[in-house]
Structure formats: structure tokens, C-alpha cells
Structure 1
Amino acid sequence: MDKIPITVENEQQLREEIEKLKSLERPRIVNAIATAREHGDLKENAEYHAAREEQGLLEAKISKIEDTLSRADIIDITKVSPSDKVIFGSTVVVHDLSVEKDKKITYKIVGEYEADAEKGLIFSKSPLAKALMGKEKGNFIEVNFPAGTKSFEIIDVKYI
């Protein structure tokens, strides 16, 4: 069973989500199934079948989150000795050399389940994150994207 690196923030989000699913969603679906059963013949009862399908999807989601948490390698970046080196969980400020000099972009390198490019959260196995990992403030990197190659300068590395 491979360990999955996740940030402390992501662990907390997953624990909150599983609590919500178990304490709110699960009872709601059980009630929907019970209500649908009261309508009689289950073979022709679309309401019952929809509720059972929803229950299956919910249980699969709960299992996936529990599996993720059981395999989690929780990284608390605030407890790592600060350096200029990019590692999992670090926040990196880069300058895209193909655009104006003053434009800086901030990324945080995170796990698969936390990644959200629009929020600047990039998956540690993405091409950009792979190129950044192990590099230091002041280094230059090149990354191959589907739209072409881009060059970046690492402006700052933060462990926050």
C-alpha cells in the first residue's frame, strides 16, 4: 500500500468531509430509502432505486476518503526547517519569463486530492511541480506544456 502525501490542511478537509457524509448524508439517504419502501412494490419503485443508487455512490465516496486517510503521509510544511528548496507543501513564487517582468505567479505544491489549478494548488506529479521540486530560489526551469515550452524563474520559496 503506497503512502499518499497530503498537507495538514487537506487532512483536515477530508476528515470534515467524511464526518459530514456520515452524520448528515448517510442518515438522509437511509430515510429516503425507508420512505420509498413505504410506497409498496420495490421492483417498480423508481424512488427506491434512485435512493439505493445514491447510497451506493455515497458509500463508495466514504470508502475512498477512508482509504486516502489510511494511506496518508501527512506533511506539515510549517515544521520543516526553512530553506530555499522547493519540496512538497511549499509555496513557490515564480515569474513566467514569457510575460511582463512584474507578473508573479504563486503556486503551492499539494497532493492529488487537493490540487486546484485555479487556486494555485498544483499536483506534485504535474509537469510544473516536477520541474520545480528540488530547485531553489533564483533557479530557472523549463516546462513542456501542451501549448509549448515555458520558462520560469523561481522568485521565492515559502514554507507556510
Structure 2
Amino acid sequence: MSPTGTRDELIAQIMGTLARRHSTATVLLHHAVAERLGLGPTDHKCLDLVVERGPMTGSELAGITGLTSGAITGVVARLERAGFLSREPDPHDGRKQLLHCTPEGRQRIGEVFAELADASTLLSGFDAHQLAAIAEFLGRGTDFSFRQAALLRAHAMTRLKRRQT
């Protein structure tokens, strides 16, 4: 499906049908990757956050994902047992434990993604200016999605607190 039309029509296609299709395909891909790694989708995406952002505490991971501390404890325990995560003392605060992706975990993740078709071929027909626009859009879209997820969680917590009072 190649988008066509006026600027406004293109924006509507990108933000409507194309964005939803892309989101659904991405979710399904990551469910399949999680299965291939022997993980559940939540565990896989928590691991992905540690890989992407670097070492963090369980509390920080909970803050990003919106999962409860109990849920994060379970996620971390499963990822540790599976050899994907390790915990190490925080060098700045010995009371805290930092979650790290293990070298074995990185290798296993890399092997799964190496099995997938070379996605970089999707970008082969674009010039440097188009690639810069794609990169900027993906960066902005990602930041927007993280912000919206946090806002939705905050809104849900506010509604829950109002019902409890």
C-alpha cells in the first residue's frame, strides 16, 4: 500500500490506516520474537527496555512500563532464570540493584533478529534527505507514544483514586 493524495490526505493515511497497520504488525512481530526466545511478550519488552536504555532499577522499569512492583519482581525473576538478566549493586547506592542484560541474553536476542530478513533493504530506495525525515518521524513518534502511554496511565490512576474516595 503506497500512500497517495494531497498533503492532508497523506497525513490522514499515515496517522490512520498506516500507523494502525504498522502498530499491529509490530506487536505481532514482537510476540513472535518473544515466543522464539521462550518469553512472554511483557517480559520481552521489559528486557528490550533494559537493552535499549541500559542498566536500571526495577523501580525505574516499573515507572516506564506502568507495571506494579510485584509484576516487575516476577518479570525480573523470570528473565534472570532464563539467563537474560542479571542484578548488580548500584555503584552509587549499594542498597539498589541494577538490572543488566547478560552477554548470553544479548547473543540470544541477536541470533533471533539475525534470522529475520534484512530489514535494512526496506530503506535502500531512499536518499539521505528522505532517510533523515524517516528517522525524525520515527524518533518523534516514539517519544510521542511514550508520553501518551504515561498520560493514559496517569489518567487511569486519577480515575481510580477518585472512585476510591
* Fold match (TM-score > 0.5): no
Q: Between Structure 1 and Structure 2, which shows a larger proportion of strand residues?
A: 1
**1 or 2, which has the higher helix percentage?**
2
Larger Rg: 1
TM-score, normalised via structure 2 length:
0.24
TM-score, scaled to structure 1:
0.25
Larger RCO: Structure 1 or Structure 2 (Cα < 8 Å, ≥ 6 residues apart)?
1
